């Protein structure tokens, strides 16, 4: 029976304890609020996080990692997000977007060159998938790439490219053959944001402010053909890499962020209900609040089981496209409801900037949308299960 149905394995328990001490020491509440207000990514604290060895949890020791343990990596995101996304977001862009995608889809050269840097906290990916006219229908991207000998030339635009300014590479989906059939005309290319011909514009946004989200414009941008994900022989094979590892990774990571934020909100509301007194007793003794919090904790446990089940499948190398879509949809939708009800427990204080719940609500409003909206996940699930096909 998988561990997520009972007690967690000892190494996960120890990992959570280590991370909770790290958060309390390196990311106290006021510092986390300041980072969020400034869209600040704290590289010094992130480097200290890397020293714990957690950035290598998505790949093997032969590449400088700690050994592939997707469940442990999800637990890291979960714990970090209880204090916001300032450290969890960069962890996702490093261990998940870079680490897992390189492990599953990179060439041997790309793995040996980049994965040790991931483990050291020195390599982050930004997803360059969406475009101004392309959201969920990623197979319709218009950004063009042409292969000229040992050089790839790229023209086009990407939108919602989070962390483009801080990333080492944009994991860029491009149309690489306009004459080929749909799904056989796409490639993935690693593009350093500092490459000549790239222009970046910031997009302000309500939550997930661990860094800037950007528009990225490509004007005759040239990178080596060696930067094609998987190597030049994988030209026009990007769709297979995208619908497998890349999107499963994103769904699991976003669901883990939602679970951690929800966990933090529920812990704060539970604590507040025990401390805040009205009408002569703690508000947690009033039946309306008492029942609300119990219902929320029960729903949270369902979210937890669903996410860790999908992560366990990924850890076993089993197909988890349906389960990761279910987890992403279920945890983000219900997590948003839980967080808003936790805000109501705090009343006016839940709307004040000096309380974390105000930030948790803003962050959670984004998560049912990013990484593929909940309705996109419903379509994915129906298609994968061959409903009416």
**Same domain, residue pair 308 and 361:** yes
User: What pTM does this model have?
Assistant: 0.94
Whole-number percent of the chain with pLDDT over 90: 91
CA 296 to chain centroid? 24
Q: What is the mean pLDDT of the segment spanning 56-77?
A: 96
| Distances from the Cα of 238 to the Cα of 143, 199, 252, 381, angstroms | 13, 24, 20, 21
Residue 297 has a pLDDT of 97
Range of the domain at 119: 3-123
pLDDT band for position 6 (cuts 50, 70, 90) = low
> Could you write out the DSSP letters of every residue in 148-210?
ETTEEEEEEEE-S-TTTTT-SEEEEEEE--TTSPTTSSEEEEEE-TTSTTEEEEEE--SS-TT
Distance between CA 261 and CA 79 in Å, rounded?
Answer: 9
**Same domain, residue pair 38 and 107:** yes
In a domain, 176, yes or no: yes
Mutual angle of helices 356-366 and 247-275, in 10-degree steps: 150
**Same domain, residue pair 154 and 264:** no
Coil, strand or helix at 140:
helix
pLDDT band for position 1 (cuts 50, 70, 90) = very low
Residue, of 346 and 2, whose pLDDT is higher = 346
In a domain, 333, yes or no: yes
**Same domain, residue pair 244 and 145:** no
In a domain, 140, yes or no: yes
**Same domain, residue pair 21 and 146:** no
Asked if residue 177 lies in contact with residue 184, where contact means CB atoms within 8 angstroms, the answer is yes
Determine if residue 375 is left, alpha or beta; phi over 0 gives left, psi from -120 to 50 gives alpha, anything else beta: alpha
Residue 2 has a pLDDT of 43
**Same domain, residue pair 222 and 244:** no
Residue 89 has a pLDDT of 96
Q: Among 123, 139, 166, give the residue marking a domain's end.
A: 123
Which of 238, 259, 207, 251 is closest to 366 using CA atoms? Answer: 207
Return the CATH number at 169: 2.40.110.10
Domains of the chain: total: 3
In a domain, 389, yes or no: no
Q: What is the mean pLDDT of the segment spanning 275-289?
A: 94
**Same domain, residue pair 245 and 166:** no
Residue 135 has a pLDDT of 86
**Same domain, residue pair 212 and 271:** no
Distance between CA 223 and CA 191 in Å, rounded?
Answer: 7
Q: Go through the chain and tell me how many residues it has.
A: 389
**Same domain, residue pair 296 and 275:** yes
**Same domain, residue pair 91 and 198:** no
Distance between CA 346 and CA 293 in Å, rounded?
Answer: 12
Per-residue pLDDT of 336-382, as tens digits, reads 999 999 999 999 999 999 999 999 999 999 999 998 999 999 999 99
Which of 92, 101, 112 is closest to 46 using CA atoms? Answer: 92
**Same domain, residue pair 312 and 356:** yes
In a domain, 159, yes or no: yes
Q: Are strands 169-175 and 198-203 parallel, antiparallel or unpaired?
A: unpaired
**Same domain, residue pair 108 and 207:** no
For residue 3, pLDDT over 70 is answered with no
Q: Among 236, 266, 293, give the residue marking a domain's end.
A: 236
Per-residue pLDDT of 172-188, as tens digits, reads 999 999 999 999 999 99
Per-residue pLDDT of 98-152, as tens digits, reads 999 999 999 999 999 999 999 999 999 999 999 999 988 999 999 999 999 999 9
User: Who's near 21: CB < 8 A, 6+ residues apart?
Assistant: none
Q: Mean pLDDT, the chain, as a whole number?
A: 94
Per-residue pLDDT of 157-175, as tens digits, reads 999 999 999 999 999 999 9
Distance between CA 156 and CA 164 in Å, rounded?
Answer: 15
Return the CATH number at 46: 1.10.540.10
In a domain, 94, yes or no: yes
Per-residue pLDDT of 191-201, as tens digits, reads 999 999 999 99
Coil, strand or helix at 221:
strand
In a domain, 131, yes or no: yes
Q: What does the angle CA 386 – CA 309 – CA 312 come to, to the nearest 5 degrees? A: 105
Q: Among 215, 236, 257, give the residue marking a domain's end.
A: 236
Which of 206, 220, 138 is closest to 171 using CA atoms? Answer: 138
In a domain, 21, yes or no: yes
């Amino acid at each position: 029976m998988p561990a997520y149905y009972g007690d967690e394995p000892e190494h996960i328990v120890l990992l959570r304890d280590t991370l909770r001490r790290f958060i309390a020491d390196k990311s106290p509440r006021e510092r986390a609020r300041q980072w969020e207000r400034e869209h600040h990514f704290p590289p010094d604290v992130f480097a200290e996080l890397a020293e714990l060895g957690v950035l290598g949890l998505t790949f093997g020791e032969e590449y400088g990692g700690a050994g592939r343990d997707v469940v442990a990596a999800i637990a890291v995101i979960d714990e970090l997000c209880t204090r916001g996304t300032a450290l969890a977001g960069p962890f996702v862009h490093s261990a998940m977007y870079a680490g897992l995608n390189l492990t599953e889809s990179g060439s041997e050269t790309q793995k040996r060159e980049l994965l040790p840097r991931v483990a050291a906290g020195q390599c982050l990916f930004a997803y360059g998938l969406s475009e101004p006219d392309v959201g969920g229908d990623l197979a319709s991207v218009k950004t063009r790439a042409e292969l000229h000998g040992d050089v790839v030339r790229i023209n086009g635009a990407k939108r919602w490219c989070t962390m483009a300014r801080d990333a080492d590479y944009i994991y860029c989906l491009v149309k690489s053959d306009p004459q080929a059939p749909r799904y056989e005309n796409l490639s993935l290319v690693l593009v350093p944001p500092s490459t000549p011909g790239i222009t970046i514009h910031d997009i302000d946004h309500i939550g997930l402010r661990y860094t800037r989200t950007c528009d990225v414009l490509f004007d005759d941008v040239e990178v080596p053909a060696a930067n094609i994900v998987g190597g030049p022989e994988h030209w026009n094979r990007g769709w297979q890499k995208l619908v497998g590892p890349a999107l499963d990774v994103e769904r699991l990571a976003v669901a883990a962020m939602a679970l951690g934020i929800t966990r933090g909100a529920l812990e704060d509301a539970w604590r507040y209900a025990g401390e805040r007194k009205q009408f002569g007793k703690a508000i947690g003794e009033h039946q309306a609040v008492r029942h609300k919090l119990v219902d929320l904790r029960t729903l949270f446990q369902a979210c937890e089981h669903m996410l860790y089940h999908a992560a366990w499948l990924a850890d076993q190398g089993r197909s988890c496209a349906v389960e990761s879509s279910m987890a992403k949809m279920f945890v983000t939708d219900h997590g948003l409801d839980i967080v808003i009800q936790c805000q109501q427990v705090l009343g006016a204080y839940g709307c004040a900037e000096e309380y974390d719940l105000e930030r948790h609500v803003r962050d959670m409003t984004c998560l049912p949308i990013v990484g593929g909206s909940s309705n996109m996940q419903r379509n994915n699930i129906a298609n994968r299960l061959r409903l009416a096909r």
